[in-house]
Chains A and B, each alone.
Chain A
Amino acid sequence: MRQASDGPVLRLDHVSKTYPGSNKPALDSVSFEVAAGEFFSILGPSGSGKTTILRTIAGFERPDRGRVLMTGREVTQVPPNKRDVRTVFQSYALFPHLTVAENVQYPLRMQGMSRPERARKSVEALEHVAMGGFAARLPHQLSGGQRQRVALARAIVSRPPLLLLDEPLGALDLRLRQQMQHTLVSLQKELGIAFVYVTHDQGEALSMSDRVLVMRGGRIAQLGTPLELYYKPQSEFVAEFVGNSNMLPVQFEPDRDSYIATIQGARLPEMRSNLAGQGRIAIRYGDVKLVADDGGERRAGELAGVVENVLFLGTNFEVDVRCGELRIMSSVPASHAPGFANGQTVKVAFDLSGARLFHG
C-alpha cells in the first residue's frame, strides 16, 4: 500500500468541526502534515481538540469543513473500515470474547487472509511486543500493561502506513509507562510506521517525538520540534505548558534611549525593549538560580526571596520561593549536600538567555 515515500502520509487541510449542541468549535481550521515514518505528537490539555483530530483521521468523526488526505488521496468521506490507518485506543478496546491471538488476527481476518498466513503474522506481531507466550489467553486474564501490548500488536499486524495512538500510556503506572515509551520509539523506528500520538503529558511528547503539535481550544498553538517548543515557545501558553516555566510580570521603564525591564522594582539590565508598558516573561525553572542569602549586597537583577517549599525529584530539587507577591519556581540540581530549607532567605537570579518575552 505504501507509495510516494517522499510525500506526506497524512495531510489535514483547514479541518473544522463543531459538535452538535455546542457553540464552540472543537476544531477550528486545523492544517498540518505528517511525513512517512515520522513520530508526530499532538499535545494539549483536556478539551483542546486533540482527540477530535485523532478521531477525524481515523474516520469516526466527519469534519464540517476541510479535507483529510492520506498519501495524497482524499479520504474525508471514507468510512473508518476503508481507511489504511489503525488506532490504539486509550481503553485498548480488546474484544473480550476473543483470545489474544484472535484479537491480533482480527484485522487480517476482515481482509479475508488465509488462516495459516494470519497465524504467522499474529505470532510475528506478538513477538514484536514481547507477548508471544500469551496468544491463547483472553483479555481479562492479562494485566493492564499486557493488554496495552496486545492492542499495539493488533494495530501493527497489518503494517499500516499510519498508526494513531490515543493517550495509550494513560492508564499505566510510571515505571511501566517509561518502559513502554522506549518500546514505542524503538518499534516505530523498526517498522517505519508514522505515529500520530495524542497525549496531555508534555514529557512524553518531548521525549519521543520528531515533531509536536500543541493544541489549545481547537486551534494550533504551535507546531515544531521538541527543541523549538522548549526553547522558542511562541506564546505564553506554550511556554507554560511545554517548558515548566515561570510566567513573571515585567514592567518596562524608560532608561536612556530605550526601555529596561523591572520585576518588583528590580532592574534586569539584560532585558531591554523598544516598547514601554506591561509584559510577561517566561523563565524556565532551571534558569532561576538561587543563592543562600549571606547578608551581602544584592547585585543588579537579583530579587530577595524566602523558600516556601522544597520537593526532591531525584535528579533535582524543585524549590518554591516567595518574592514579595510573586511565587517563583526554581530547579536546583540535586547533590548529597542538603540544599535549601523552608523559611530560608535566598537571593534569586535569572539566566535570561533562554527567557521569552511576551508583550501585552
Chain B
Amino acid sequence: MASLAETAAVADVKTRKHLALRIDPLRLPVYAWLALIVLLPNLLLIAVSFLSAANGRLNFVFSLGNYARLLGAAGFWRLLQATLEFSLIASLCGALIAYPMAYYVGRVASRNKALLTILVLVPLWISLLMRVFSWRLILGQNGVLNSFLVASGLLEQPSAAFLYTATSVVLTFTYVSIPFVFISCLSAFEKIPAALIEASEDSGASKFQTFCFVIWPLTRRSLAIGFSLAFLVTVGDYVTPSMVGGMSGTTLGVLISSQFGMANNWPYGAALSIALILCVSVILAIVMRLCPARGVFSGDEGGTSRAGSPAATPPTGARLSGALFYGLAITFLYAPLLLMVLFSLNDSTLQSFPLQGFTWRWYETLAGNAGLVAAAQRSVIVAVCVVLASTVVGTGFALTLHYRRGPGSQVIELLLALPLAMPAVVLGIVMVLGTELIGVPSGLPRTVVGQASFIMPVTMLLVLTRLRRLDPSLMEASRDLGAGRIMSFVHVVLPLIRGAVISGALLGLTLSADDVMVTLFLAGPSQTLPIWVFNQMRFGFTPSVNAVFTILGAIALASVVLSQIVARLRATPPLNPEHG
C-alpha cells in the first residue's frame, strides 16, 4: 500500500513539473508580437545582408559580397565618419546646452518648474519635419539670416554658404538633441536629496567641490543616457540631412534609404544598416563606460529643503545667470518655430523680412488642395488604427509582464522595446522586410504595422512604469477586503493606470501623425500628411507649407496641453510634509 502511495506522489510531482513547464497562455500574444514584429524582421535584415541583388531582384545565394564592397569603398568610410561626426558633435553640443538647463530647472529655479520643463519638451511633440524645415527658413538663400546680413550691409548679396552644408546639419541635429538630453538629466537633478547637498557643504565643501564630488557623479549616467538618445535619434535621421545637408551634409542614413528607393539594392542597404548598428553600439558602450553609475539611493537620504533656505535658494547671481542661459536656449528652441508661424500669415511668396502684410490666403489654398485633404484623411485613419492597437496591446502586454512575471520577462521587455533603440532608418527598412515577408498589403496596412512597431513599446513602457510605482499592497488590500481579481483590477488598478494609458495614447497620436522616417519606406502611393508635405518640399515650395506646419504645430500643442490637464486631474494632492 505504501508503495502505491509513493508512486502516486511521484506521479503527482511529475504532472506538476509538467504543468510548470507549459507556456502561460496569457503570454502567447507577447511571444507572437515578439516573433513577428521584432525578431523575424531583424533576422531577415541580417539574412538579406548576405544575399545579392541583380536588376532589382534578390539573388538567393549566400555571399559576403556586400560587406566586401562596403569595406573596400572609400565612399563608405567617408560617409560613416561624417555620419558619426555629425551626430556626436550635435549630441555633445546638445548636452552642453541641455545639462546646464536641467541643472537650472531641477535645482536652481524655485518657481514655475512645471512650466520651465514643458517649454523645453514641447518641441518633442512638434513634427520633426517642421523643426527641420524652420531652419531652412533661417539658413536658406532667401532666408532670414541672409536677408538680415544683406540688409545690414555685411554681405553684398545672399550667400548660399549657410544651407546645404555640414554645419547646417550639425546645427539642426543640435536643435533636435536638446529636449532629449534635458528630459533625461532633469529627473537625475531632481532626485538628489537636498540633505546630500547640505551634508557636502556641512563637510566643508565649496559649491564647486559639491558639484564635482556629489552632483556630477550622481547625474553623469543620466547625461550619458540623454546623450545616447540624442545620438540614436540623429544618427538614424535621413530626412534632416536630405533637407538641409546638400552634398557635404549627406549621411549613411541617406545612402541606406536610397538602397531601398532609387538604387534598389536591398542586400547592400541591409549590410550598410548592420555596419551602422555595430558602430553605434560600440560608441554607446564607450559613452556608458565613460559615465559609470555607482551606488543606489537607499531611500532614506530624504530631507526636503524648505523654501528660503540657502541650500534651496542659491545666490542671486547664480539664479540670474542660470535664468539668462535658460532664456537664451529657449529662444534658440522657439525662434525658428515662431518664424514659421509668422511667415504663414505673411502676404508674400518670399520667406524674408520685411513682412508684406497679413493674409489668410495660404490657409485658404490648403482647403482647396485635394491631395492635402486626402493625405490628412489617411493620416487620421492611420493614427486612429495605430493608437487603438498600440494602446490595447501595450496596456495588455504591460499587465502581462507585470503580473505574470515568468522566466526571461526582463529580456522579453528589452526585446519588445528594441525598435525604440534602433536608428530610424534601420527600423524603416527592417519593417519593409518584415511586412513584405508576412505579406501585409502595401499602403495603409503596412504603415499601421510599421508605426505600431515603435509606438506600442512607448505605451507599454509608460504603463509598465506606472504599474511598478504602484504599492503592491494595494492589490492585496483590495483582495483582503473581499474583491476578486477582476473586481480588484477594475476598481483599483485600472483607475490608477488610466492616466498613463491616456498619456501613452496621446503621445502615440503625435508620434504617428509626425512620423516620416518609417512611414516613408512603407506608405507607397498612400501618402500620409507628413509624407505629402515632405514631397511637396522636394518638388517646390509654397508658403502653404508654413500654414500646414502651423496647423500641425497647433494640434501638437493642443495635445500637450490636453495631456497636461489630464495629468493634473489625475494627480492626487500631495501629502502635507511634516516639519520638525
Point out the residues of chain A lying under 8 angstroms from B202, CB to CB. Answer: 58-59, 80-81, 85-87
Point out the residues of chain A lying under 8 angstroms from B201, CB to CB. Answer: 59-60, 79-81
Residue B302 CB within 8 A of the other chain: yes
- Beta-carbon contact of A91 and B204 below 8 Å: no
Nearest chain A residue, comparing its CB with the CB of B210: A81
- Beta-carbon contact of A61 and B302 below 8 Å: no
Point out the residues of chain B lying under 8 angstroms from A79, CB to CB. Answer: 201, 310
Point out the residues of chain A lying under 8 angstroms from B306, CB to CB. Answer: 19
- Beta-carbon contact of B296 and A140 below 8 Å: yes
- Beta-carbon contact of B311 and A60 below 8 Å: yes
Point out the residues of chain B lying under 8 angstroms from A21, CB to CB. Answer: 307-308
- Beta-carbon contact of A80 and B218 below 8 Å: no
Residue B580 CB within 8 A of the other chain: yes
CA distance A55 to B200 in the complex (A): 14
Point out the residues of chain B lying under 8 angstroms from A110, CB to CB. Answer: 203-206, 209
Residue A95 CB within 8 A of the other chain: yes
Residue B324 CB within 8 A of the other chain: no
How does the 8 Å CB contact mask read for B192-203 relative to A, with 1 for contact and 0 for none? 010110111111
Return the contact of A91 from the options B209, B300, B578 (Cβ within 8 A): B300
In the complex with contacts A109-B213, A139-B298, A50-B310 CB distance below 8 A = no
Residue B295 CB within 8 A of the other chain: yes
- Beta-carbon contact of B198 and A95 below 8 Å: no
What is the minimal beta-carbon distance from A180 to any residue of chain B, in angstroms? 16
Which of A50, A89, A93, A140 has its CB near the most chain B CB atoms (within 10 A)?
Answer: A93
Interface of B: prevailing SS:
loop
A-B contact count (CB 8 A): 127
* Number of chain B residues whose Cβ lies closer than 8 Å to a Cβ of chain A: 36
Point out the residues of chain A lying under 8 angstroms from B309, CB to CB. Answer: 55, 60-61
How many chain A residues sit at the interface, stated as a range, is 35 or more
What is the minimal beta-carbon distance from A11 to any residue of chain B, in angstroms? 20
- Beta-carbon contact of A97 and B195 below 8 Å: no
CA distance A21 to B110 in the complex (A): 14
Return the contact of B579 from the options A46, A58, A85 (Cβ within 8 A): A46
List A74-106 residues whose CB lies under 8 Å from chain B: 79-82, 85-87, 89-98, 106
How does the 8 Å CB contact mask read for B457-496 relative to A, with 1 for contact and 0 for none? 0000000000000000000000000000000000000000
Residue B354 CB within 8 A of the other chain: no
CA distance A155 to B95 in the complex (A): 36
Residue A171 CB within 8 A of the other chain: yes
Residue A216 CB within 8 A of the other chain: no
CA distance A144 to B309 in the complex (A): 28
Nearest chain A residue, comparing its CB with the CB of B303: A91
List B199-243 residues whose CB lies under 8 Å from chain A: 199-206, 209, 213-214, 217-218
List A55-76 residues whose CB lies under 8 Å from chain B: 55, 58-62
CA distance A87 to B494 in the complex (A): 45
CA distance A111 to B202 in the complex (A): 12
Residue B297 CB within 8 A of the other chain: yes
Point out the residues of chain B lying under 8 angstroms from A81, CB to CB. Answer: 200-206
In the complex with contacts A80-B198, A110-B209, A91-B302 CB distance below 8 A = yes
Residue A149 CB within 8 A of the other chain: no
Residue A356 CB within 8 A of the other chain: no
Which of A55, A85, A86, A110 has its CB near the most chain B CB atoms (within 10 A)?
Answer: A110
Residue B436 CB within 8 A of the other chain: no
Point out the residues of chain B lying under 8 angstroms from A147, CB to CB. Answer: 298, 300
Residue A217 CB within 8 A of the other chain: no
Nearest chain B residue, comparing its CB with the CB of A151: B199
CA distance A91 to B197 in the complex (A): 13
- Beta-carbon contact of B311 and A20 below 8 Å: no
Point out the residues of chain B lying under 8 angstroms from A202, CB to CB. Answer: none
CA distance A20 to B294 in the complex (A): 37
What is the minimal beta-carbon distance from B470 to any residue of chain A, in angstroms? 23
List A147-194 residues whose CB lies under 8 Å from chain B: 147, 154, 158, 166-167, 171
Return the contact of A138 from the options B196, B203, B206, B295 (Cβ within 8 A): B295
Point out the residues of chain B lying under 8 angstroms from A106, CB to CB. Answer: 200, 203, 205, 213
- Beta-carbon contact of A20 and B298 below 8 Å: no
What is the minimal beta-carbon distance from B534 to any residue of chain A, in angstroms? 46
Residue A200 CB within 8 A of the other chain: yes
CA distance A140 to B300 in the complex (A): 10
Residue B301 CB within 8 A of the other chain: yes
- Beta-carbon contact of B193 and A91 below 8 Å: yes
Nearest chain A residue, comparing its CB with the CB of B202: A87
CA distance A233 to B295 in the complex (A): 49
Point out the residues of chain B lying under 8 angstroms from A89, CB to CB. Answer: 195, 198-199, 303
Point out the residues of chain B lying under 8 angstroms from A86, CB to CB. Answer: 202-203
What is the minimal beta-carbon distance from A150 to any residue of chain B, in angstroms? 12
CA distance A111 to B203 in the complex (A): 9
- Beta-carbon contact of A60 and B580 below 8 Å: no
Point out the residues of chain B lying under 8 angstroms from A20, CB to CB. Answer: 307-308
What is the minimal beta-carbon distance from A346 to any residue of chain B, in angstroms? 39
- Beta-carbon contact of B300 and A171 below 8 Å: yes
Return the contact of B301 from the options A92, A111, A200 (Cβ within 8 A): A92
Return the contact of A96 from the options B198, B297, B307 (Cβ within 8 A): B297
List A1-57 residues whose CB lies under 8 Å from chain B: 19-21, 46-47, 50-51, 55
Point out the residues of chain A lying under 8 angstroms from B193, CB to CB. Answer: 91, 93
- Beta-carbon contact of B205 and A91 below 8 Å: no
- Beta-carbon contact of B298 and A46 below 8 Å: no
CA distance A186 to B206 in the complex (A): 32
How does the 8 Å CB contact mask read for A197-215 relative to B, with 1 for contact and 0 for none? 0101000000000000000
How does the 8 Å CB contact mask read for B288-325 relative to A, with 1 for contact and 0 for none? 00000111111011110011111100000000000000
CA distance A110 to B213 in the complex (A): 10
Point out the residues of chain A lying under 8 angstroms from B196, CB to CB. Answer: 93, 95-96
What is the minimal beta-carbon distance from A204 to any residue of chain B, in angstroms? 14
Residue A107 CB within 8 A of the other chain: yes
- Beta-carbon contact of A47 and B579 below 8 Å: yes
- Beta-carbon contact of A95 and B214 below 8 Å: yes
Q: What would 16 A/B residue contacts be, using CB atoms closer than 8 Å?
A: A19-B306, A51-B579, A55-B309, A80-B198, A80-B202, A87-B202, A89-B195, A90-B580, A91-B303, A93-B198, A95-B200, A97-B294, A97-B295, A138-B295, A158-B204, A167-B580
8 A-B pairs with the lowest CB-CB distances in the bound complex, closest first: A107-B203, A93-B199, A96-B295, A91-B302, A93-B195, A97-B295, A80-B201, A51-B580
* Other A-B pairs, 9, CB within 8 Å; known A58-B202, A167-B580: A47-B579, A59-B202, A60-B201, A79-B201, A93-B199, A96-B294, A97-B218, A110-B209, A138-B294
Give the interface of B toward A (CB within 8 A).
193, 195-196, 198-206, 209, 213-214, 217-218, 293-298, 300-303, 306-311, 578-580
